[in-house]
């Protein structure tokens, strides 16, 4: 008789765990959310400029709902679209990515790649993200990186993988600098480093992984707005506490959203992204998201 309370407690814990898993895998990971932020980086009296920031789609071929939701963001009428990588999770996912982004391919845009634009994800223990110690990066199948790149570049988007350029958007001259993914050490900021151009109206730095070595360098060169993804906002968070990990050296308190980058005048926006690792298709207390950043005068 004395065992019954324990059995009842164990059953309750199992039921609560099952309900939480069902919610996070079937419901919350599909609760796509649009975040909005005002970012004071423009000169006084300048007209606002809208940036749509999309990251970490981790697209699978059959994810029609995600594609439709992203395409519906055309109603936000952005002046500039910035995609911060990890678009793919399957070799056949490029058409789905291009379908989702089709309403924006006629809008000025720029992109960098993440590790999952080069190699596919593989099954791994999710605890490796929160346990201490070094984590070896395990690579999966080759992905059609160049097909994705061609789709973006042919639309006129700027490839910022270890590159720097100036483009026109919203009637402004915008200088952008970017790196390939620091998470797998493809970044080469030294090849594009240097003080911002005095002839541009706005200066933006772009990276997939918000690695401090890259963000510090971009901020030191004078880039006023830094955009990144990679963290998934923690993906599985603790209510009222937040992310348990960022999978890089970014502080957990900055896992998503808009923050001042420490020791600089730059603003950092980290997108929690729209997808998940396909072998861990869950989100908890961290909805999938895209963001509209309205740049306003300082």
pLDDT at 205 over 60: yes
Four-residue CA torsion sign, 268, 269, 272, 278: negative
CA dist 250 and 255 (Å) reads 7
Task: State how beta strands 289-297 and 33-42 pair.
Answer: parallel
Query: What pLDDT does residue 17 have?
Result: 39
- What topology is assigned to 31-297 in CATH? Purple Acid Phosphatase; chain A, domain 2 (3.60.21)
Answer yes or no: are the C-beta atoms of 108 and 160 closer than 8 Å: no
In which element (H, E) is residue 294 found?
strand 289-297
pLDDT at 128 over 70: no
As a whole number, mean pLDDT of residues 256-280 equals 95
- Which pLDDT band holds residue 135 (cuts at 50, 70, 90)? low
pLDDT at 245 over 60: yes
pLDDT at 212 over 80: yes
As a whole number, mean pLDDT of residues 191-202 equals 96
Beta bridge partners of 34: 290
Q: Where are the beta strands (DSSP E) in 20-137?
A: 33-42, 49-54, 80-83, 109-111
pLDDT at 284 over 60: yes
Query: What pLDDT does residue 136 have?
Result: 59
As a whole number, mean pLDDT of residues 211-215 equals 98
Min mean pLDDT across 18-27, 80-89, 111-120, 206-215 is at 18-27
Higher-confidence position of 129 and 266: 266
CA dist 96 and 90 (Å) reads 10
pLDDT digits (tens, 9 = 90+) for 43-86: 999 999 999 999 999 999 999 999 999 999 999 999 999 999 99
Residue count of the chain, please give it.
298
Proportion of the chain above pLDDT 90, given as a percent: 82
Question: Nearest 5°: phi and psi at 262?
Answer: -55, 140
Answer yes or no: are the C-beta atoms of 290 and 34 closer than 8 Å: yes
pLDDT digits (tens, 9 = 90+) for 163-179: 999 999 999 999 999 99
Angle at which helices 145-154 and 94-101 pack, to 10 degrees? 20
Query: What pLDDT does residue 125 have?
Result: 53
Query: What pLDDT does residue 16 have?
Result: 36
- Which pLDDT band holds residue 4 (cuts at 50, 70, 90)? low
Query: What pLDDT does residue 123 have?
Result: 67
Count of alpha carbons within 13 Å of 282, Cβ hemisphere only?
Answer: 15
Within 10 angstroms of residue 49's Cβ, the number of other Cβ atoms is 22
Domain boundaries, given as residue ranges, for the chain: 31-297
């Amino acid at each position: 008789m004395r065992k019954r309370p324990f059995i009842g407690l164990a059953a309750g814990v199992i039921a609560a765990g099952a309900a939480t898993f069902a919610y996070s895998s079937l419901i919350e990971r599909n609760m796509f959310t649009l975040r909005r932020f005002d970012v004071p980086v423009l000169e006084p009296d300048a007209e606002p400029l809208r940036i749509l920031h999309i990251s970490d789609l981790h697209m699978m071929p059959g994810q029609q709902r995600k594609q439709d939701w992203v395409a519906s963001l055309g109603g936000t009428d952005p002046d500039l679209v910035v995609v911060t990588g990890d678009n793919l999770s399957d070799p056949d996912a490029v058409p789905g990515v291009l379908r989702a982004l089709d309403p924006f391919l006629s809008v000025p845009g720029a992109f960098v790649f993440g590790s999952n634009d080069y190699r596919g994800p593989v099954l791994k223990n999710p605890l490796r993200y929160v346990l201490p110690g070094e984590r070896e990066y395990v690579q999966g199948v080759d992905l059609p990186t160049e097909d994705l790149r061609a789709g973006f570049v042919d639309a006129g988007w700027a490839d910022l993988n270890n590159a720097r350029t100036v483009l026109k958007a919203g009637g402004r001259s915008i200088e952008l600098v970017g790196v390939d993914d620091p998470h797998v050490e493809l970044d080469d900021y030294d090849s594009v480093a240097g003080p911002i151009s005095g002839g541009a109206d706005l200066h933006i730095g772009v990276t997939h992984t918000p690695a401090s070595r890259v963000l510090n360098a971009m901020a030191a060169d004078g880039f006023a707005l830094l955009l990144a993804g990679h963290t998934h906002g923690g993906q599985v968070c603790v209510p009222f506490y937040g992310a348990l990990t960022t999978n890089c050296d970014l502080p957990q308190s900055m896992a998503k959203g808009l923050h001042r980058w420490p020791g600089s005048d730059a603003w950092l926006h980290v997108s929690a992204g729209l997808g998940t690792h396909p072998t861990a298709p869950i989100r908890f207390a961290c909805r999938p998201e895209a963001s509209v950043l309205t740049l306003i005068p300082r």
